[in-house]
């Protein structure tokens, strides 16, 4: 099996991890930090805004089952790409919307996908998602991994993550989901 990687930032990594773990063809999802200048940052460092990192996920996926285009379709549909450094009540550069591409092909697909979304008129505000080359990814602390699966009755999971999962099922249905 030839797996590819995708690295995405769309707000809190607890949310994005819970979403992408549900997709057929996704082999693993790791919560972490990407795009900053400090090596091996802590969650506190990232949230302070001093590292330049965003909360992100790194996905390993089988492109024969789920192409990168579909990964991006889910990414766009499950967060607000028009809010700068914010998703809901999570505010700061750590919660920005970003695509960190791993190849020239991924860059081309990401730019075309963003342009298609901009032209669709789905969002009245400008899309602020950045598309940058992948430079680094640091795995988050263990308590952040599989957060939703391990804490599904926590208020954040109930009020923030559950609605995103419901939206995922409504928009993408059984063909895309595990």
What residues are annotated to the active site?
12
171: helix, coil or strand? helix
CA distances from 10 to 83, 102, 153, 174 (A): 10, 17, 22, 23
What DSSP state is assigned to residue 141?
P
SS3 content of the chain, % helix, strand, coil (to 5): 40, 25, 35
Q: Which two tokens stand for residue 153?
A: 């009755």
């Amino acid at each position: 099996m030839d797996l590819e990687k995708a690295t995405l930032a769309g707000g809190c990594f607890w949310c994005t991890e819970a979403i992408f773990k549900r997709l057929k063809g996704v082999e693993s999802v790791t919560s972490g930090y990407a795009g900053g200048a400090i090596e091996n940052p802590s969650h506190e460092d990232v949230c302070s805004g001093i590292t330049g990192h965003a909360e992100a996920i790194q996905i390993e996926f089988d492109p024969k089952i789920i192409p990168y285009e579909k990964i991006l379709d889910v990414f766009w549909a499950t967060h607000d790409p028009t809010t700068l450094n914010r998703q809901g009540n999570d505010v700061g550069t750590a919660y920005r919307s970003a695509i960190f591409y791993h190849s020239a092909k991924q860059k081309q697909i990401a730019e075309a996908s963003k342009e298609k979304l901009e032209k669709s008129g789905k969002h009245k505000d400008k899309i602020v998602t950045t598309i940058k080359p992948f430079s680094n990814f640091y795995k988050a602390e263990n308590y952040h991994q599989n957060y939703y699966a391990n804490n599904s009755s926590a208020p954040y999971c109930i009020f923030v993550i559950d609605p995103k999962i419901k939206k995922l099922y409504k928009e993408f249905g059984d063909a895309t989901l595990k």
